[in-house]
Amino acid sequence: MKPVVISGTGLFTPPYSISNDELVTAYNAYVELYNQEHAAAIAAGDTTALEPSSSAFIEKASGIKSRYVMEKEGILDPTHMTARIPERADEQVSLQAEMCVAAAREALDRAGKQASDIDMVLVACSNMQRPYPAMAVEVQDALGIEGFGFDMNVACSSATFGIQTAVDAVRSGRARAVLMLNPEITSGHLNFRDRDSHFIFGDACTAVVVEAAETATSRHQWEILDSQLKTKFSNNIRNNFGFMNRFDEAGIGAPDKLFRQQGRKVFKEVCPMAAETIAATVKNAGLEVADVSRYWLHQANLNMNLLIARTLLGRDATPEEAPVILDTYANTSSAGSIIAFHKYQDDLPSGANGVICSFGAGYSIGCVVVRKK
């Protein structure tokens, strides 16, 4: 098959960061207000009092210390607890497209490509800010790219599924090069009033240029040796928000219209699936686990990544083998593994092998084995 490479990556980091201490202060203020407001019902046993949180609890549960967001004052307001981002006029570039353009410019620069070199734009992420027109087509227009674009959603695995979709387009001759983007405004679907999940997510956008090896000229090229995509239906990570919500007004604004998960079940079921998928993909690429220098894993939970790496290696991975970015970025859904790849790839020598793997709602798992040229 035609050799295909990742020739450039880019990252947009939002301007605001929220520490665990800041988030906990806001959450605990909300808890106090809620318990005061419902004091009579709590005393009567009709309502359960909310429990406060702590920074120590968050870090132990997830490994997260802070996260980036597109707006923080509204999130930290205990009477609001949602970002305050005004709607833009249809004539203005949308927020997700703006994030994409910023990440795309860095990826194109690293790849040594111009807009005229790209034939396909793919926006792959957990939540689009609107159903249509496609975010990818708006980004295509903003960057002056000819050709075509479309959106796709495989939740946290969107980026790895997007890479494979880009590879297929290049190998088929449908596109010379593909710009694949992951704009995650996860603060929009996170319930900041839920003690078990209010700390999980952060905002970010990543970009990847995929092209035929014969046209690539960048300094840091990664040949895509093999990939594997896997899905298995589960309700353990779910969000019921959608246009059909208006059919039943009783459910509008209900907690299930935001992110929710059964974390213990996810941990127990996804970790072995991810380890098995990585091992199988590495083997299909003609390699052994010992041949892999670095694992850029989905940045959802530190304990999950530690277990997956330990299952594969038979020991704890070093920070160099499985770099972590979720301590400062939190879970950025589809962008997480690409942020790790973007930040921790340039030091590896030619011939080094690596694995990009993401996993999440679906369940979905995407694994891509790459080799530095």
The Cα 56–Cα 63 span in angstroms is 10
Q: If DSSP codes are grouped into helix, strand and coil, which group holds residue 317?
A: coil
Count other C-beta atoms under 10 Å from residue 81's C-beta.
Answer: 18
Q: If DSSP codes are grouped into helix, strand and coil, which group holds residue 10?
A: strand
Q: Work out the angle at residue 336's Cα, subtended by the Cα atoms of residues 22 and 11, and round it to the nearest 5 degrees.
A: 90
The token duo for 182 is 């992951």
Cβ(146)–Cβ(116) below 8 Å: yes
The Cα 284–Cα 88 span in angstroms is 47
Catalytic residue status for 271: no
> Which entry of 156, 205, 357, 367 is annotated as an active-site residue?
156
Name the β-bridge partners of 18.
67
End-to-end CA distance of the chain: 17
Cβ(189)–Cβ(341) below 8 Å: no
User: 170 to each of 155, 158, 335, how far by Cα in Å?
Assistant: 23, 18, 22
Helices (DSSP H) in the chain: which residue ranges? 20-37, 39-44, 55-62, 95-111, 135-143, 158-172, 263-284, 302-313, 326-329, 336-343
Count other C-beta atoms under 10 Å from residue 210's C-beta.
Answer: 30
Cβ(31)–Cβ(51) below 8 Å: yes
Amino acid 34 reads: Y
Catalytic center residues: 156
